[in-house]
Amino acid sequence: MKIQMLGLCRFSLLSEGGFKVVHETLEERRRHLYDPVRLEQRFVWFEHVALPGWAKQTDRDFKLVVAVAEDFPALWLDRLRDLSASIPGIIIELCPLGHHRDVCRHAMLRHADRTADRLVLFRHDDDDAVAIDYVEMTRRDLLRMRAMAEDHPLFFMDYARGFTLEYAEGEVHMNPQITHTLGVALNIVAPAGHDRGALDYPHHRLSTFMPGLCLSGPQMYLRGKHETNDSRPPSRGGSPFFFKPETAPAVLAERFAIDLPGFEAALRR
């Protein structure tokens, strides 16, 4: 079975709709998204949290489309390209203005492999992380589910064990949680030629669209929580699991390739 791993990361993507924080005008939203102070913090999370896991994937056969608007400031666009240049699976996509869901669908599906037997669609925020074996584990687990794939043309695979990575009052905390369909490390398995993207299915209502499986084995994700989130994730969600806080630096390094001291230093700067 030929499987394509295809994801979408929206990086301060200016569009019509798609945000929980409401702005009166598009120009007001543009000023908010492109504020240099805000962008600097988004880049710190992208560089030190989101990118390391993608750079160290044990299976590098994936595409992650990083979507930005066509008017994304040139200085920041150059920085985005420089940070992503060493990761072949990352594609920077300049998107025209339009309705958020339509823009996201087009940006994602124009990179779909029409020869694949299955598309694995996922969303990924610029301040979240996946484990270094996320692609490998997804492909392995899907191959183990051939019978389900034969019976269901569309279903989801949910890696539910991970952490909220919270930055507040100058400190970083990891809160362990098992949470269903959180939106990170959440895969939608679709047939070739599928005409919907990952953002067409609200992750919190995913089970109303398709059947799915919850896989709560390895620690597979980090969800960032800080002051520039559009939607504010709770510090603790789902069901906690046993975790020794003193092991946080080792877990971040081993599972997510994150240098915690380096991240904390960047946040202080």
Residue 238 has a pLDDT of: 77
For residue 118, which amino acid is it? R
Residue 228 has a pLDDT of: 67
CA–CA gap between residue 54 and residue 131 (Å, rounded)? 8
Q: Are 81 and 150 in contact (CB under 8 A)?
A: no
Strands 161-168 and 171-178: antiparallel
Tokens of 131: 């484990």
pTM of the model: 0.93
Element (H, E) at 233: none
CA–CA gap between residue 131 and residue 57 (Å, rounded)? 8
CA–CA gap between residue 13 and residue 9 (Å, rounded)? 9
Residue 191 has a pLDDT of: 94
CATH number of 3-268: 3.90.550
Residue 168 has a pLDDT of: 84
End-to-end CA distance of the chain: 47
Closest of 59, 67, 77, 79 to residue 11, by C-alpha: 67
Q: Are 181 and 123 in contact (CB under 8 A)?
A: no
Closest of 17, 19, 6, 3 to residue 196, by C-alpha: 6
**In Å, what is the CA distance from 190 to each residue of 67, 89, 179?**
21, 20, 23
The alpha carbon dihedral of 80, 15, 195, 223 has a sign of positive
Own/partner contacts of 28-32, CB < 8 Å, gap of 24 or more, are 30/71
For residue 148, which amino acid is it? M
Residue 72 has a pLDDT of: 98
Q: What is the pLDDT along the chain (269 residues), one digit of tens a residue?
A: 899 999 999 999 999 876 656 667 899 999 999 999 999 999 999 999 999 999 999 999 999 999 999 999 999 999 999 999 999 999 999 999 999 999 999 999 999 999 999 999 999 999 999 999 999 999 999 999 888 888 999 999 999 999 999 998 888 999 999 999 999 999 999 998 999 999 999 999 999 999 999 998 899 999 999 876 665 555 556 788 999 999 999 999 999 999 999 999 999 88
